[in-house]
């Protein structure tokens, strides 16, 4: 172990995977081979855990521990099934409310968004397994602990998760500069998924095509975009106001 959120070495990583530990992603030295590495790749494939080939220098920078060409990152956040989260909300007589994040990679933004989701009553975060900020200690700290209380549902592709939500009757509302509907006119009080994208790339075209509404946040300044965590807070507050007015 290099830290409480990393497992280093071939056999320790294999044991973590076999034991069903909450492995978030793997880094494997580009030239690494052998039966142990082959088993790690197969286990990762079986559990849909993303892994990335990297130069040995990157592994050396991450840990002084003997890593044998492989490091596994453990998440402090337990994953939950999106179907179960939505079904449980309905069973409790609540209106499902999900926050989906498309390629938000900054851990501080991830933590701040989780905190806003907790404050404004969202039932869960929905994130893809690839291209998402690590749910490690830094994200948990930035969330003021919200990531330890708020369900996180991770899916292979965000579009798959959104289709699952739609099958449960949730509308998909994407917040984007491309939106033609102002936030004040958006309907946010029913079963809902709010989709937010990264500050650099925004929401992918594949996700935008799935959305029922494309919503923008009206602004008066000369800077054309907001930090994604700030924008999320604004949208979630608007949604909560509508939901409270309807209750």
Distance CA 64, CA 28 (A): 16
Same domain for 61 and 167, yes or no, is no
Sequence-distant (6+) residues with CB within 8 A of 113 are 99, 101, 104, 125, 196, 228, 229, 232, 233
Sole residue written with tokens 């209106």 = 95
Q: Per residue in 14-61, pLDDT tens?
A: 998 998 888 888 999 998 889 999 999 999 999 888 899 999 999 999
| Residue 215 within any structural domain of the chain | yes
Q: Tokens standing for 82?
A: 């999106």
Same domain for 44 and 102, yes or no, is no
Same domain for 119 and 220, yes or no, is yes
Number of domains in the chain: 2
Q: Of 80 and 246, which is predicted with more confidence? A: 80
36, 14 Cβ separation under 8 angstroms: yes
138, 161 Cβ separation under 8 angstroms: no
Distance CA 118, CA 116 (A): 5
pTM reported for the whole predicted model = 0.84
The pLDDT value given to residue 3 = 56
Average pLDDT over residues 60-79: 89
Above 80 in pLDDT, residue 210?
A: yes
Same domain for 195 and 218, yes or no, is yes
Same domain for 106 and 220, yes or no, is yes
Domain with residue 44: its CATH number is 3.30.1330.30
Task: State phi, psi for 153 to the nearest 5 degrees.
Answer: -110, 120
* pLDDT > 90 in the chain, percent: 72
Q: Domain span at residue 118?
A: 82-246
Lowest mean pLDDT among 44-53, 106-115, 185-194: 44-53
Same domain for 101 and 14, yes or no, is no
Q: Residue 205: pLDDT band by 50, 70, 90 thresholds? A: very high
Among residues 40, 74, 108, the one where a domain terminates is 74
* pLDDT > 70 in the chain, percent: 98
Distance CA 107, CA 110 (A): 5
Among residues 48, 74, 100, the one where a domain terminates is 74
Give whole-number Cα distances, 235 to 22, 38, 186, 198, 226, in Å: 31, 45, 10, 15, 12
| Residue 1 within any structural domain of the chain | no
Same domain for 155 and 225, yes or no, is yes
Average pLDDT over residues 157-181: 96
Same domain for 115 and 202, yes or no, is yes
Sequence-distant (6+) residues with CB within 8 A of 131 are 103, 105
Above 80 in pLDDT, residue 4?
A: no
The pLDDT value given to residue 5 = 84
The pLDDT value given to residue 1 = 38
Q: Per residue in 231-245, pLDDT tens?
A: 999 999 999 999 999
Q: Tokens standing for 158?
A: 């965000």
The pLDDT value given to residue 114 = 96
Same domain for 97 and 162, yes or no, is yes
Same domain for 33 and 148, yes or no, is no
| Residue 172 within any structural domain of the chain | yes
Burial of 133: CB neighbours in 10 Å, binned 0-12, 13-18, 19+: buried
Average pLDDT over residues 80-94: 96
Domain with residue 95: its CATH number is 3.40.1280.10
Same domain for 125 and 211, yes or no, is yes
| Residue 159 within any structural domain of the chain | yes
To the nearest 10 degrees (0 to 180), the angle between helices 158-167 and 82-91 is 30
Among residues 54, 74, 94, the one where a domain terminates is 74
The pLDDT value given to residue 79 = 85
Same domain for 147 and 96, yes or no, is yes
């Amino acid at each position: 172990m290099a830290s409480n959120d990393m497992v280093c070495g071939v056999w320790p990583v294999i044991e973590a995977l076999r034991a069903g530990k909450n492995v978030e992603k793997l880094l494997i030295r580009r030239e690494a081979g052998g039966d142990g590495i082959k088993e790690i790749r197969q286990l990762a494939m079986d559990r849909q855990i993303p892994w990335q080939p990297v130069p040995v220098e990157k592994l050396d920078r991450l840990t002084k521990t003997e890593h044998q060409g492989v490091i596994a990152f453990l998440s402090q956040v337990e994953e939950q099934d999106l179907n179960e989260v939505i079904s449980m909300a309905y069973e409790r007589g609540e209106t499902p409310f999900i926050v989906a994040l498309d390629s938000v990679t900054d851990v501080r933004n991830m933590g701040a968004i989780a905190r806003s989701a907790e404050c404004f009553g969202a039932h869960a975060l929905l994130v893809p397994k690839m291209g998402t900020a690590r749910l490690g200690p830094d994200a948990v700290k930035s969330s003021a602990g919200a990531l330890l209380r708020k369900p996180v549902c991770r899916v292979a592709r965000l579009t798959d998760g959104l289709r699952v939500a739609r099958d449960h009757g949730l509308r998909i509302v994407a917040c984007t500069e491309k939106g033609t509907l102002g936030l004040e006119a958006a309907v946010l009080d029913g079963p809902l998924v709010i989709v937010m994208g990264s500050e650099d790339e925004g929401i992918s075209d594949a996700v935008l095509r799935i959305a029922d509404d494309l919503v923008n946040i009206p602004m008066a300044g000369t800077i054309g975009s907001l930090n994604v965590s700030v924008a999320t807070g604004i949208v979630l507050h608007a949604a909560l106001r509508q939901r409270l007015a309807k209750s």
